[in-house]
Amino acid sequence: MVRRYLEAHCLGKTVAGAVVNQPACINVPPTAYGRCIAGATLEHVWRKGKLVMVDLSNQVSLIVHLALGGEVLLRDTADHDPARTQIVLTFADGTALHFHQLRLGNVHVYPTYHLATTRLGRLGADALDELPSVAGLQALYGASGKPIKVLLLEQTLICGIGNLYGDELLFGAGLHPERRGKTLTGEEFVRLREAIAETLNAALRSRTPEAPPYEPHVYGRTGEPCRACGCTIQRLRLNNRSAHLCPTCQPLG
C-alpha cells in the first residue's frame, strides 16, 4: 500500500530539500541527506519484502522501511510537529512528504547501483510477488530443524512475512508454529503455500480504503475462542517473539 501510495502521489515530483528531526532514521549526516536528493525527480517506486525503494533521477535511491506504526503522508505544506514527524521531504511544487512515527523505521539513501550490497540484496524472494513453488518452499524450509514460524520470519529465505501474518497463515495452513521445517510433509507444504498467498492477499485487500479491516484469527486473541472450533487461543514464546495458535486447529503432533 505504501508503494502504491507513493507511486500515485509522488512520482514526477522534484525534491527541494529535507528536514530531519531524528538522525537515527537516516544513514548519512543530516546535512548531507538533503544534498544527496535535492534537485532530483522521483522516477520509480518499487517494493521488496517490507522495504519500499524510490529511485531518483540522480542515480540515488531511497530505501523506506516504515516498521510497525510508521506512516507516510503527502501534504500541501512542510509544516509539522517535530515530536511526531521524523523526516519531511519538501518538493519544488510546495508539497511535502511527511514520515510519521518511524520509531525503528528509517529512510536511507544509497547510490542506486549500490542497492544490491545493502540489506535489500540479502532478502529472499518476495512472499507476495515471487512466492516460490511448493518444491521451492520445500527446498528452503524442508531441511531445517528450526520451527516453521521462525523460518517464515527469516527475511533472507522469503521476505515480507511479519509476526502477525506469520501466525495467521500458519493458522490457515493448520500448522503448529513449533513444527520443525524438516517434519513437514509434501501435503503440508502445499497447504503452507496456499495459506501464504491467501493470507497476504487478504491482508492487502483489507488495506484498501473501502474494505473492512483485517480480523485476525489468532494474532492478539490470546484467551479468546477460536472462530473455527471454539478452543482457547494460546500464545507462546518462540525466539523472543510471540506466536499465537489454536491448539486444536494447529496440532503439534
- Position among 54, 120, 245, 249 found at the interface with Zn ion (CB under 5 A): 249
CA distance 108 to 61: 8
Helix (H, G, I), strand (E, B) or coil at 149: helix
Which of 229, 239, 251, 252 contacts Zn ion by CB under 5 A?
229
Asked if 26 touches Zn ion (CB under 5 A), the answer is no
* Residue (93 or 215) nearer to Zn ion, CB: 215
Asked if 228 touches Zn ion (CB under 5 A), the answer is yes
Neighbours of 10 (CB within 10 A): 18
Residue 6 is a binding residue for Zn ion (CB under 5 A): no
∠ Cα 161 167 172 (to 5°): 100
In the list 8, 248, 251, 252, the residue contacting Zn ion (rule: CB under 5 A) is: 248
Q: Which is nearer to Zn ion, 125 or 170 (CB)?
A: 170
In a 3-state reduction of DSSP, which class is residue 129?
Answer: coil
- Best CA proximity match to 49, nearest among 150, 165, 145: 165
Is 232 a residue that touches Zn ion (CB under 5 A)?
no
Residue nearest to Zn ion (CB): 226
Q: How many CA atoms, within 13 angstroms, populate the side-chain half-sphere of residue 22?
A: 21
**Contact letters for Zn ion, residues 56-95 (x by CB under 5 A):** ----------------------------------------
Between the alpha carbon of residue 174 and those of residues 15, 142, 228, the distances in Å are: 48, 17, 11
Please report how close the Cβ of residue 218 comes to Zn ion at its closest, in angstroms: 8
Pairing mode, strands 96-100 and 71-75: antiparallel
For 75, phi and psi rounded to 5 degrees? Answer: -125, 165
**Nearest distance, CB of residue 169 and Zn ion, angstroms:** 15
**Footprint on residues 208-227 left by Zn ion (CB under 5 A):** 226
Strands (E), 134-211: 158-159
Between 9 and 227, CB nearer to Zn ion: 227
Least separation, in Å, of the C-beta of 252 and Zn ion?
14
CA neighbours closer than 13 Å in the CB half-sphere of residue 32: 9
- Residue 246 as a binder of Zn ion (CB under 5 A): the answer is yes
Binding site residues, Zn ion, CB under 5 A: 226, 228-229, 231, 246, 248-249
